[in-house]
Chain A
Amino acid sequence: MSDKRTGAQILCEALIQNGVDTMFGLPGGAIMPFYHAMWEYRSELRHILCRHEQGAGHAAEGFARSTGRIGVCIGTSGPGTTNLVTPIADAWMDSTPMLAICGQVSSAVLGKDAFQETDITGITMPITKHNYLIKRVEDIAYAVKEAIFIATTGRPGPVLIDITKDALQASIVPDYSKKIFLPGYRPTYQGSKKQVKAALDLMLQSKKPVMMIGNGVMMANASDEVMAFAERYQIPVITTLHGLGAFPQDHPLSLGMPGMHGWVHANRAIQESDFLLNIGGRFDDRVTGKASTFAPNASIVHVDIDPSEIGKNIEVDVPIVGDAKLVLLSLLEEEPEEAKVTQFHQVAADWLVYVRELQAKHQHKQQYLNRPDTSVMMPHDVYAVLTKEMNERGNYRVVTDVGQHQMWAAQLLDWYRPRTHITSGGAGTMGFAMPAALGVAVAHPEDTVWVVCGDGGFQMTNQEMIVVVQENIKNIKIAIINNGFLGMVRQWQELFEGKRYSGTPLTSPNFQKLAEAYGWTGITVESGDQIEAAVQQAYATDGPVLIDFRVEREVNVFPMVPQNKSIGEMITE
């Protein structure tokens, strides 16, 4: 008798056994048995109460992306789970290992439109890697094990478990020993030797090689292997938005970011290359521009753990299905003739000189300021100070939201370490940054976590600021790039729609006072000469700080590739 556990207790124990120690959620009727049980396990299973389930979901994402571990979020049936839909979709688009645990009405009333019943497994079917509706207590322990296995292996992604209230309440003697049995799920980790050899042969014949690294490198923790490979063959490295930090940007071989708001020289290098090795990037349209015009002269090798990504957007010459790290290790094991390699180094060096010349011509960070006059505070001035102060102190992670400030952060801040740049890329979810930073800060108490956010997106989820106070988290600083507009949309309106500013001018509350109301330190910065003091004060303050940077309102992000144009055609002012 004494060995019996309720479904809710089994859920707690299964989570702990599968490596979970932190969860973000908000309770309600159907999920209450889980919260009841959680109390006994609270020393091993930390629950962080968010103010909105969307916040809980993004916090779980921030936790997961900054650590590589599973991020867990919890919502109760009905609205509690529909509020999780946005972060689940975000995790799906950016391949983030996430477990969403949802309460469901009792099995006896399931399907009868009971109070707070929502078909969350139906709703999330297209945006989860897998999902479960659990109606029997006997199935809970195994479902947790399998769900976390699926979410964290192969190409990671969100998995949802919906558990009926009666299953959480019923008691049995649990059995945690059932082995995972998934005959249809066998991710390929090792790349084919033959393909690896073919890729290398192709590369050594090329004269203008580039390597492009994406989220897959981050998730496979393959930064060291990227470095070893790039240095062994002296190939320039381009980092996508989600690859930022996977290769240090001050490395002599680093070219920076490609795509819609990437650097001219990085895009030109792709367009002129005759060999492109894409590791763990999915050729998103924000990277490729008009796909039919992308890298027209290049032989393309695509390494991805998900076979369905290969050939989806861009035709490739050598597909390699496998884990980025293991494929890079295989590439490094190959021993081509030294004479060939030496010759290749020479050619690659000439090519790099050419690309650097392009860079000198096009990448003047200041050139993109279109500064009306020097007395106004440009967003770029804020980034310049942030870069300096962050570099002086080290140990920073930056979480960005979605919009102009996000692209400026990608362009203007320095990215040296993996998992230090965290953003919503694939889904572009405004409201991501503040709650995601909560997850990052919890996972990395030793680092300073900067939120770089727009005045628009910040207002979507700023309620999570109070969670930071309740949990006594001190290592979060927020920089609002406050331009009084839904800036990125305004930029498109300015450039392509004759400045018809429909629905983009934005009134905001006094963010400093808002911060103070939440028990944070709030600072308002209205001119360029106050930036440095504000950032230094933020660092000197032992607690969360928000800085409202009232920047010049109508500034554009350049360079830019207009929608559906070739990345060879960038506008720079």
Chain B
Amino acid sequence: MKTHILVVLMQDHPGVLNRAVSMFRRRGYNIASLAVGHTETAGVSRMTVVVESDHVEQVVKQLYRLVEVLKVSDVTDDPTVEREMALVKLHVPSQQRAEIVALAEVFGAKIVDVSVTAMVIEMTGGPAKVDNFIDMVRPFGIKEMMRTGRIAMVRGARGHSGADLVDTGWQNDVAGAASAAAQ
């Protein structure tokens, strides 16, 4: 199955994440990674979801059926900046410290905590790079690890701002829609 990266802008209402995730579950779409947060526009949150599907158009259309979903973009084939973060706690006896520090430097990872026998490293990067880093430090003994979902942004000036989508001057054409429906 093909992996797709979807950027979803939604109204920042209580329950909206629940609606989206519940739709994925009941339709059997497989979420590989999910990240949600605020955006530059008040009232709009942004979800990056990595989904495995051979029918991504259906996933997109089903997302659009949710009343609070403003825009869905499949950015899989666009040039994007993608980031994940991992926090890794390693078992590190003092004699190996230097080796780890060197490795972290090569990957651009940050050492955020050091104690007598352990270290916490923050690794941020594209998913492949984070995978790679974890493979490299695994032999030292990972005591604990966690990873965030992926976030993605299209390169260049074009983008996915919520601002034009919640133009507050805009209102549904109630009369028009109702008369079209009633005809």
Contact B26 A184 (CB under 8 A): no
Residues of A within 8 A of B171 (CB): 179-181
User: Which chain B residue lies CB-closest to A306?
Assistant: B65
Contacting pair B183 A183 (CB below 8 A): no
The interface bits of chain B over 66-84 (1 if a CB of A lies within 8 angstroms of the residue's CB, else 0) are 1111100000000000000
Contact A153 B181 (CB under 8 A): yes
CB contact under 8 A between A152 and B178, given known A183-B165, A184-B11: yes
Q: How does the 8 Å CB contact mask read for A169-188 relative to B, with 1 for contact and 0 for none?
A: 00000000001111111110
B58 contacts A by Cβ under 8 Å: yes
Q: A121 CA to B19 CA in the complex, in Å?
A: 10
A180 near B70 with CB under 8 A, answer: no
Per-residue B-contact encoding for A116-158, CB less than 8 Å = 1, 0 else: 0000011001100110010000000000000001101110100
Q: Indicate if the CB atoms of A323 and B57 lie closer than 8 Å.
A: no
A176 to B66, CA, bound (A): 25
Question: For the complex, what is the distance from the CA of A386 to the CA of B176, rounded to whole Å?
Answer: 42
A68, A121, A323: the one contacting B180 at CB < 8 Å is: A323
B174 lies within 8 A of A149 (CB): yes
Q: For residue B152, give the distance in angstroms from its CB to the closest CB of chain A.
A: 21
Query: Would you call B57 and A311 a contact (CB within 8 A)?
Result: yes
Structural contact, A125 and B18, CB atoms closer than 8 A: yes
CB of A308 within 8 Å of the partner chain: yes
Any chain B CB within 8 A of the CB of A314? Answer: no
**Shortest Cβ gap from B42 to chain A (Å):** 13
* Cβ-based interface call for B96 (8 A): no
CA distance A184 to B9 in the complex (A): 9
In the complex, B22 has a CB within 8 A of chain A: yes
Query: Within 8 Å CB of B167, what residues of A?
Result: 183
Q: Is the CB of B18 within 8 A of A189?
A: no
Are A126 and B22 CB-contacts (below 8 A) given A180-B171, A183-B170?
A: yes
Task: Give the residue among B26, B57, B170, B177 with the most A Cβ atoms within 10 A.
Answer: B177
Give the Cβ gap from A182 to chain B, nearest Cβ, in Å: 5
Say which size band chain A's interface belongs to. 35 or more
Query: How far apart sit A197 and B62, CA to CA, in the bound complex (Å)?
Result: 27
Within 8 A of A (CB), among B9-24: 10-11, 14-15, 18-19, 22-23
A146 to chain B, nearest CB (A): 9
B61 touches A185 (CB 8 A): no
Evaluate contact between A184 and B67: CB separation under 8 angstroms: yes
Note all chain B residues with C-beta closer than 8 A to A326: 180, 183
Is A325 an interface residue when CB atoms closer than 8 A count as contact?
yes
Q: With an 8 A cutoff between CB atoms, is B172 at the interface?
A: yes
Does A513 interact with chain B (Cβ within 8 Å)? no
- From A129, A221, A310, contact of B67 by CB (8 A): A129
B64 within 8 A of A: yes
Interfacial residues of chain B within 149-183, with CB under 8 A of chain A in the complex: 165-168, 170-172, 174, 177-178, 180-183
A251 adjacent to chain B (CB < 8 Å): no
B10 contact set on A, CB distance < 8 A: 184
Contacts of B166 in A (CB 8 A): 183
Residue-wise, chain B 16-37 has the 8 Å CB interface mask toward A (1 for contact) of 0011001100100000000000
B69 in contact with A182 (CB, 8 Å): no
Q: For the complex, is A28 an interface residue (Cβ under 8 Å from B)?
A: no
Least Cβ distance of A540 to chain B in Å? 38
* In contact, B172 and A152 (Cβ under 8 angstroms): no
Chain A residues with CB under 8 A of B174: 149, 179-180
Which A residues lie at the B interface, using CB under 8 A?
Answer: 68, 121-122, 125-126, 129-130, 133, 149-150, 152-154, 156, 179-187, 189, 220-221, 306-308, 310-312, 323, 325-326
Known A156-B181, A184-B165, A306-B65; 9 more pairs at CB < 8 Å: A149-B172, A149-B174, A150-B67, A152-B181, A154-B181, A179-B172, A180-B171, A181-B172, A312-B58
26 A-B interface contacts by CB (under 8 A): A125-B19, A126-B26, A130-B67, A133-B15, A149-B178, A152-B181, A153-B178, A156-B181, A179-B174, A180-B171, A181-B168, A182-B172, A183-B165, A184-B11, A184-B67, A184-B68, A184-B69, A184-B165, A185-B172, A186-B172, A189-B177, A220-B181, A221-B182, A306-B65, A308-B58, A310-B61
